[in-house]
Amino acid sequence: MEAYAAWKEVHGQLEVLVSRYVKDQDMQMDLLQDIFIKIQANIDRLQSTKKLIPWVHTVARNTIMDHFRKEKKEATLKQLLKLEFEDDSNFKNDISICLTPMIDQLDDKYKQALILSELKNLKQQEIADQLGISLSGAKSRVQRGKKKLKEVLLQCCEIEADHYGNIMEVRKRNCDCQ
């Protein structure tokens, strides 16, 4: 099947699919173009035209997911802890001091995992050994702890990030946060 004929057949469906996940119209157009390029480059590998629609939808979903991975806009704990400024060598320590009361609000199992992972820089296998849990258990606790800490952090602070996800400014919300 020719790529252009396939594109004509599914273009409308893809516009709807992309618009569900991406609100910026310019980005929608960019993603649709990326999807078309991928279809054009790989359509010769498609063994049956009966599988065209599912295959195109898979290409589209993967392209959208890749976009969000590349353009991750949410601030993470690691970004906060790795911020460094040439004129303030104690900044990382200051951030750790500010985050410690927030970490203390978490359940003990998540608090322990985050302290070991992010503040003491232990590898996840070391965390698992120290806590007496499996490696996958340690990974889960660290990830859930980060998610819970992010929720606490976003309740207390407004975080402004650039389009690459780098933190530009942090402002305390008007609340009784620590």
The pLDDT tens digits for 37-92 are 988 888 887 777 777 777 887 888 888 888 877 766 443 444 444 433 333 444 45
Tokens of 150: 């992010």
- Give the model's confidence band at 127: pLDDT under 50 very low, under 70 low, under 90 confident, else very high: very high
Place of tokens 């698992």: 128
Report yes or no on whether pTM surpasses 0.85.
no
CATH 1.10.1740.10, applies to 3-70: yes
- Give the model's confidence band at 138: pLDDT under 50 very low, under 70 low, under 90 confident, else very high: very high
Tokens of 36: 């078309």
Check if 3-70 and 77-172 are the same fold: no
Q: Is the separation of the CB atoms in 1 and 49 below 8 Å? A: yes
Give CA–CA dist 26/15, Å, rounded.
Answer: 12
Find the helix packing angle between 25-42 and 3-21, rounded to 10°: 150
CATH 1.10.10.10, applies to 77-172: yes
What percentage of residues in the chain have a pLDDT greater than 70? 70
Residue ranges of domains in the chain: 3-70, 77-172
